[in-house]
């Protein structure tokens, strides 16, 4: 349950700024006032109303002032004139992503890709959308398409960064490591993604990613999310959550780091049912743990892990390992009893290699079926304690209401 209070600070009313996005917590994020670019682009378009290039220029100028809903209307106007122009779908999908209208963004990126599959911005932003939705394998596929099409060093660093994150979250750590080792982002750039990539490669620690020069709201959101995701893939959920929260506090709400941090905090929330929700899982009972140990000792082949609910996580690998060892040993015995005079020492070599592999896998399996449930129970216990500790608290966020600046105070209990 949430209780929201608004404390308004006295002062002169602000210029009219339309609401672009309202968060699930009720925080409103607004457009900025035009400082000239929008007016100039609008005047240029007025002189040539059907010029698609000028329509795109106006939409981009509106986006620069965070007038995303006006930009969506502008790109929609362009699509009515040139429905086969894939660039218009790239830009409108991007702006739908900014205001969190994810289904509409997906429709635009999908249609744009059908019209022209070579556009970098379609694949890059489609990858971000998949990541935010938790479809990490699809995100990796999209970033693999965007990476070789990156138009400059900054975009190349961005595609490489998001590809690494997507592969890691999809459980393809070896592939992610090999991709970084190839250094596809070798062109020099000083964008925020370059700092995050240094963290992923182990060149700097998490405390060195953000520098005193990183004060812009989107930059803080971007860097904070990258650090949080790095902690998450390294198993430190508490620090990950802290950095995701810092990203959301930055005010850089149009940034992809901010949008992704919102999604991660939802996935980490107790009771969300998400893949990271340890507090929503059940501990493994003592009876199942004992039964799993006995079955592993007597039968093996992943059977004990199935009992404790860890077959897909680990048991299947022991099944494959033991079956492989058993097959080798059986093959060696078969050769030995076949009377093959030309096989030489192949029979004992195969037998001992297979038997050794089987024995190692079985011993490892016995140890794992004891240790893994204990680790699971410890993680569930820690997550529930953390959830209980955070069940009552206050959060602060900037708001604008009735033309005045203020601070939103949220209470959860």
Residue 385 has a pLDDT of 55
- Specify whether 293 is located in the same domain as 361: yes
Please write the tens of the pLDDT for every residue from 361-372.
899 889 988 988
Residue 398 has a pLDDT of 46
- pLDDT, greater one: 153 or 342: 153
- Average per-residue pLDDT for the chain: 86
For residue 118, what pLDDT band results from cuts at 50, 70 and 90? very high
Is the pLDDT assigned to residue 386 strictly greater than 80? Answer: no
Does 68 reside within a domain? no
Instruction: Tell me the average pLDDT across 256-276.
Output: 83
Is the pLDDT assigned to residue 270 strictly greater than 80? Answer: no
- Specify whether 300 is located in the same domain as 340: yes
The answer to whether 200 and 164 are in contact (CB under 8 A) is: yes
Instruction: Tell me the average pLDDT across 214-233.
Output: 96
Q: What pairs with residue 29 in β-bridges?
A: 21
Residue 393 has a pLDDT of 46
Is the pLDDT assigned to residue 49 strictly greater than 90? Answer: yes
Residue 140, classified by CB atoms within 10 Å of its CB into exposed (0-12), middle (13-18) or buried (19+), is buried
Please write the tens of the pLDDT for every residue from 7-46.
333 333 333 479 999 998 899 999 999 999 999 999 999 9
Predicted TM-score (pTM) above 0.85: no
For residue 273, what pLDDT band results from cuts at 50, 70 and 90? low
- Residue-by-residue DSSP string for 268-287: HSTT---TT-GGGS-PPPHH
The answer to whether 221 and 258 are in contact (CB under 8 A) is: yes
Cα–Cα distance between 88 and 377 in angstroms, integer? 51
Residue 324, classified by CB atoms within 10 Å of its CB into exposed (0-12), middle (13-18) or buried (19+), is middle
For residue 350, what pLDDT band results from cuts at 50, 70 and 90? confident
Write phi, then psi, for 134 (nearest 5 degrees): 85, 10
Instruction: Tell me the average pLDDT across 227-235.
Output: 95
Does 172 reside within a domain? no
- Specify whether 214 is located in the same domain as 253: yes
Residue 402 has a pLDDT of 43
- Specify whether 242 is located in the same domain as 318: no
By residue range, what is the domain housing residue 224? 205-266
For residue 278, what pLDDT band results from cuts at 50, 70 and 90? low
Which residues have C-beta within 8 Å of that of residue 79, sequence separation ≥ 6? Answer: 85, 88, 89, 92
Does 47 reside within a domain? no
- Specify whether 290 is located in the same domain as 261: no
Cα–Cα distance between 60 and 104 in angstroms, integer? 19
Please say which residue of 239, 266, 293 terminates a domain.
Answer: 266
Best-predicted range by mean pLDDT (224-233, 369-378, 386-395): 224-233
Residue 312 has a pLDDT of 65
Nearest to 397 by CA among 384, 406, 388: 406
Best-predicted range by mean pLDDT (142-146, 268-272, 334-338): 142-146
The answer to whether 112 and 122 are in contact (CB under 8 A) is: yes
Does 347 reside within a domain? yes
Does 113 reside within a domain? no
Cα–Cα distance between 321 and 302 in angstroms, integer? 10
Residue 411 has a pLDDT of 46
Which residues have C-beta within 8 Å of that of residue 27, sequence separation ≥ 6? Answer: 397, 398, 399, 408
For residue 357, what pLDDT band results from cuts at 50, 70 and 90? confident
> Pairing between strand 404-412 and 19-22?
unpaired
Is the pLDDT assigned to residue 310 strictly greater than 70? Answer: yes
Residue 381 has a pLDDT of 66
Q: At what angle do helices 52-64 and 37-46 cross, to 10 degrees?
A: 160
- Specify whether 295 is located in the same domain as 363: yes
For residue 315, what pLDDT band results from cuts at 50, 70 and 90? confident
For residue 395, what pLDDT band results from cuts at 50, 70 and 90? very low
Instruction: Tell me the average pLDDT across 73-94.
Output: 98
Does 46 reside within a domain? no
Does 301 reside within a domain? yes
- Specify whether 368 is located in the same domain as 291: yes
- Specify whether 293 is located in the same domain as 245: no
- pLDDT, greater one: 283 or 217: 217
Is the pLDDT assigned to residue 263 strictly greater than 50? Answer: yes
- pLDDT, greater one: 397 or 125: 125
DSSP 226: H
Residue 329 has a pLDDT of 80
The answer to whether 365 and 318 are in contact (CB under 8 A) is: yes
- Specify whether 303 is located in the same domain as 366: yes
Instruction: Tell me the average pLDDT across 268-285.
Output: 63
Cα–Cα distance between 260 and 253 in angstroms, integer? 10
Residue 285 has a pLDDT of 84
Does 341 reside within a domain? yes
Instruction: Tell me the average pLDDT across 244-268.
Output: 96
Please say which residue of 238, 266, 294 terminates a domain.
Answer: 266
Chain centroid to CA 136: how far? 7
Instruction: Tell me the average pLDDT across 189-202.
Output: 96
Name the domain count of the chain.
Answer: 2
Please say which residue of 338, 356, 373 terminates a domain.
Answer: 373
The answer to whether 314 and 305 are in contact (CB under 8 A) is: yes
Chain centroid to CA 263: how far? 8
Cα–Cα distance between 21 and 404 in angstroms, integer? 17
Cα–Cα distance between 323 and 326 in angstroms, integer? 5
């Amino acid at each position: 349950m949430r209780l929201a209070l608004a404390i308004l600070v006295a002062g002169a009313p602000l210029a009219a700024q339309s609401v672009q996005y309202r968060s699930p917590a009720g925080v409103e994020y607004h457009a900025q006032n035009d400082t000239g670019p929008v007016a100039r682009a609008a005047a240029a378009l007025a002189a040539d109303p059907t010029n698609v290039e000028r329509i795109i220029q106006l939409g981009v100028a509106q986006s620069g002032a965070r007038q995303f809903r006006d930009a969506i209307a502008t790109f929609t106007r362009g699509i009515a004139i040139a429905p086969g122009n894939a660039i218009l779908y790239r830009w409108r999908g991007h702006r739908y992503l900014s205001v969190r209208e994810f289904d509409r963004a997906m429709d635009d990126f999908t249609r744009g890709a059908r019209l022209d599959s070579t556009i970098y911005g379609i694949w890059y932003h489609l990858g971000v959308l998949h990541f935010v939705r938790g479809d990490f394998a699809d995100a990796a596929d999209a970033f693999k398409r965007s990476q070789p099409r990156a138009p400059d060093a900054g975009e190349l660093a961005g595609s490489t960064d998001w590809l690494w994150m997507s592969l890691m979250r999809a459980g393809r750590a070896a592939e992610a490591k090999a991709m970084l080792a190839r250094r596809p982002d070798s062109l020099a750039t000083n964008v925020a993604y370059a700092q995050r990539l240094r963290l992923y490669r182990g060149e700097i620690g998490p405390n060195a990613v953000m520098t005193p020069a990183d004060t812009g709201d989107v930059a803080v959101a971007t860097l904070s999310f990258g650090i949080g995701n790095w902690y998450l893939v390294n198993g430190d959920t508490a620090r990950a959550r802290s950095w995701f929260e810092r990203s959301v506090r930055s005010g850089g709400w149009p940034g992809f780091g901010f949008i992704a941090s919102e999604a991660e905090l939802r996935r980490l929330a107790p009771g969300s049912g998400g893949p990271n929700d340890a507090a929503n899982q059940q501990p493994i009972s003592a009876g199942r743990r004992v039964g799993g140990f006995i079955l592993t000792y007597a039968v093996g082949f992943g059977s004990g892990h199935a009992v404790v609910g860890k077959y897909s996580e680990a048991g299947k690998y022991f099944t494959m390992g033991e079956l492989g060892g058993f097959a080798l040993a059986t093959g060696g015995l078969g050769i030995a009893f076949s009377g093959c005079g030309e096989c030489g020492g192949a029979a004992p070599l195969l037998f001992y290699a297979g038997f050794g592999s089987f024995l190692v896998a079985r011993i490892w399996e016995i140890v794992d079926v004891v240790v893994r449930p204990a680790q699971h129970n410890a993680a569930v216990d820690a997550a529930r304690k953390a959830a209980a500790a955070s069940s009552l608290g206050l959060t602060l966020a900037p708001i604008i209401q009735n033309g005045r600046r203020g601070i939103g105070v949220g209470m959860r209990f």
